[in-house]
Chain A
């Protein structure tokens, strides 16, 4: 499989470990990632809360580049993915958007690029491929797979069959030997970018998610979104302290767990970059 790879801003900064583990896991699964040439910002929250035109124009430019390359576009960051999927959907279904995008880009873009996130891209390789590649099964790891909001919703944009209870990440980690737990907070809001402006809200929402995972019997959380991971990992000590809770729950990117199953080293997967230490967890389970 060969994909146009869109790292976005976070995969080399706040979520460097997501970038590192994405590339390592892709290598292991023979997914060829070709970094999108001359890519620009996806617009993320800022564009679509300030300028409708920019919120479509910025992603459209990247989509047009992918189209020229003749590749499906894969964005590991859930926010980037969502912007691309939403723009693609709007361009395909709405003439007005097509015209707007055409005038902004100075060239016609009529859609036709398949937009993938990393979970769907790896799922496309098949669970069997994951199992085959697994050399250190993630035995006994009870993981709560946390999808957040942008990976699966809105349904008409993502085409996800069950946005209330997605299961692809659970299946992939199960294929690597982990034991995903059933829990009800898979797609609850983590507070997203309110992290900076209304930290109090994010602390409560993060606490809710961490508590739900723990109550479901999970001993760690897997995410596929840099912002979710930040809110659950970096804000975790404060969130739990505020509610007088005294534990720590490792929050992985799902690629890090897959990578551990594939026998990759902690360094390759960026395991040292977490706020809540994960190395003790990994060593205790003899995964490194």
Chain B
């Protein structure tokens, strides 16, 4: 038998006006276990509480029920009341007969009936209530502040000043936030920097503050008083301690991107400090993910690097960057198939950057003026390396090895070195002098080249070993032309393309009089066709079985061939060579059509029955395919189909240790740049092999390193600029000679072309900064680091971002240069800003005579484009901006288009009055419909809703007061912190009036605009309030946690853990239980509640099928008792 007292509150007329209170009291007296019931005018008042206290003592009540308002309002009040007279607070129960009854039930009788039912329910539960004790938890005496704007700075300083350690995490390179971007602050017109920067310095110097800039919170675990926070410190690539902030690095950086600090109005370099007063003052390198040009290049040549340097006129530095991965820029600049250009992001704006032409320009220019800085080989090593084949793969390998100090000998079967570069690519594309120059550079590094020395004929692999070569690289290429497999191919006048081009390269005298038909669609075919034209052929036809779109040859080569007069005969294939007197007389061909795609993804050509035709010709060149000639490897090295050498794709090691192979001999016919890539890779692998490092380690060291980094987004407002046109030799001068066709760009064209680069990687890794930095604090290999810090409390101060007004198409932002945002205007006013504080029209660079401000851009807009809320600050800063215009531009007129002018704040209304009345800013009440260019300026169409007529206002500059928005990723952070957020993404406070800086998650507090739009004074006040809350928590040794937590009945727990994924706080853990069943020890897993994490939501109790998990204070039994009581009539 319990002894329960029931106290029913009138709450003045709030309850008494609808509920017959005496009737409720009368009913309560009849409930089981109720020994006393009374009513009070205001139970929460002192007389009401005194009545409870006296009746508890007098009647020895062991439980108390108060029927009044919501427990959110007064549960704590009454719990304290009963505690003073010795009743455990959790034996108190509250019936809400106000919010749940009198306020929402119009009928008096019904309200009274409902109130009686609610009291009955509360009594039924009170009967089941058990005394509960809060339990103590320890506190880590350290605070974390997320965000280094004015809110974060203020909160961190306030906490640290009490002697509590504080960590401030800021994601940008510097603290300061948006306030650092402002010029003046309303209404006093204090200089923003003057009042902010001393605080920034204070923070950096504070002995109790640890500043983690350029860092982000990734994960938060734990609970009030005991959080574990994982922080990612982003790689700065600059040593924070040693950087003196001198700026020598930025002075040499060739990359310019829009400055975030200057709101995009001015540029910054890739290595940068956001603004001179930044804290910390160290520089930071901004790297995005590896740009597409570098990613696509088989050899990984740093195209963005040399292009950026060319844009700055740094040609010899560009050549050095180029040569890091490619020893043959002059050659590649002419013959590379440049996949980099295909992927170039500029192609999404207009046309890709002409990377290849720039590359050629660099090499030709620097070689011509002799300014190249020689790269010295490393100290000489003993192990000799043999390279077989002097094509691009062999020479690249020899070059790299020689730089590392290895003595290298190159063996070449043909009379001169160069492989396909010399004997496959005709002189009009690659002059022999150009080739010889770069081969000579390899020789100058000490590489010996032996010509007329063929593997398998003049020497064998065993010979090389016997001669003391410690490693061999085989790069013999693919020099065997394949036949078409049709009758008559052995007739005089029919030759394969490889042989034909080699004979041309060797300078064999040839006079082609008549028609030449070249069979095939690859680069060999096109080279053969254009060569044939130069050798006097009357008529050259390329016969190809698919369409032009499927031709594997470089499209620009095909274009040039057609331009020179080569005819394309598409969708036809040879059936036989017509032979007359042992000589070619023509080709018998058949027409084709395209069928289903084949393995290569190209549509398969299918002959059309009965469509044979004759194509008369004096010469036939077959350029259908080519393969490696690897007879020398028979029985020595493992071969694959088609005679290619089997080699590990990463280490290039063949079946014989110490013998490596690469290039076309391994890949089959491929490109020059792929061959160079293989040569470089082989040199690395051979180096590792010779240093006897473990092969697994070599594979890892040689594999491509994945590039991490933020993805690059193409800016929306890039102006279209035509691509540089490569000058070419006049058509009339190309006949009967092999003079080079492409003439190369001049310096002016190359620099202009380089300036089109979008700098997709941001930092181009030219490493000029590394050279310029005297304290040597730049390290391009730095990696992100994560660190876990333990804190007892978290203050979230992540701020806001200004809305991008581009969705408001009628204002023409980004379309018209003289339409800017208020933050851009703010930077324009800054004395250190891009215009040194002058207010200028972006289009002309001259001061505006008339400026119009549009308020509420994105605020107070119920449509889909904006936000419903008022951004609160815009009325005031717009008034400030209008004054600044009239102060700085003598005689200027300003208009402000507004919906309402809202000035609630100390001195705010006075400021607005001064702007409109003393300064004479013209306020027009109405929303702007359209901004259009008109003559030299802009015409703004707006309805003056006070005068009731439309107006056209001619202005020079339009400033949009854009809405304050939560950070784009605020909801992600909310999920990490497990705090609430509203539909817009602002974090929600625990109570809008009474707990404005707390969240519903214990120990996490809010400061500043991450909670909602507010101005600086309000932000600072809130920051200090949050600091006090945090200090109040952290200054305790121990916390008392609510005993309303879940607990597990281990006997019932089935160990299915359905409760685990349901728990939003991760409070359910696994526990192993050892017990004896039938005398035998067994173990089983059961759920266990981490009471520090549990917030008492009760979600787990619903998920538990066996009813093993229960919530203290709200057990299943208590709830069922309530249900029974409600249902009881």
Contact = CB atoms under 8 A, between A and B. Distances in A.
Contacts of B810: 164
A132 to B, nearest CB: 11
Contacts of A184: 812, 932-933
Contacts of B415: none
Interface in B831-867: 864
Contacts of A164: 809-810, 812, 930
B888 interface: no
A164 B815 CA distance: 11
Contact of B809 (A156, A162, A182): A162
Interface string B924-948: 0000001011000000000000000
Interface in A106-165: 156, 162-165
A163 B807 CA distance: 10
Contacts of B809: 162-165
A182 B932 CA distance: 12
A81 interface: no
A165 to B, nearest CB: 5
A159 to B, nearest CB: 12
A65 to B, nearest CB: 32
A6 interface: no
A162 B864 CA distance: 13
A156 B864 CA distance: 9
Interface residues of B, number: 8
A156 B863 CA distance: 10
B815 A185 contact: no
Contacts of B933: 184
Interface string A167-186: 00000000000000010110
B863 to A, nearest CB: 9
Nearest to B935: A215
Interface string B796-832: 0000000000000110100100000000000000000
A203 to B, nearest CB: 18
Contacts of B815: 165, 182
Contacts of A165: 809, 812, 815
A17 B11 CA distance: 80
Nearest to B810: A164
Contacts of B864: 156
A156 B809 CA distance: 15
A163 B808 CA distance: 10
A230 to B, nearest CB: 24
A38 to B, nearest CB: 38
A104 B889 CA distance: 65
A192 to B, nearest CB: 17
Nearest to A182: B815
Nearest to B939: A184
Contacts of A162: 809
B862 to A, nearest CB: 13
Contacts of A182: 815
A164 B805 CA distance: 13
A249 B932 CA distance: 22
Nearest to B808: A164
A165 B806 CA distance: 11
Contact of B932 (A156, A163, A185): A185
A157 to B, nearest CB: 13
A153 to B, nearest CB: 11
Contacts of B812: 164-165, 184
Nearest to B811: A164
Interface string B863-901: 010000000000000000000000000000000000000
A132 B864 CA distance: 39
Interface in B900-958: 930, 932-933
Nearest to A184: B932
A201 to B, nearest CB: 13
Nearest to B932: A184
* Chain B CB within 10 Å, residue with most, of A156, A182, A184: A184
- What are the 5 closest A-B residue pairs judged by CB atoms, nearest first? A164-B809, A184-B932, A164-B810, A162-B809, A165-B809
Given A164-B809, A184-B933, 4 more contacts: A156-B864, A163-B809, A165-B809, A182-B815
15 contacts: A156-B864, A162-B809, A163-B809, A164-B809, A164-B810, A164-B812, A164-B930, A165-B809, A165-B812, A165-B815, A182-B815, A184-B812, A184-B932, A184-B933, A185-B932
Interface of A: 156, 162-165, 182, 184-185
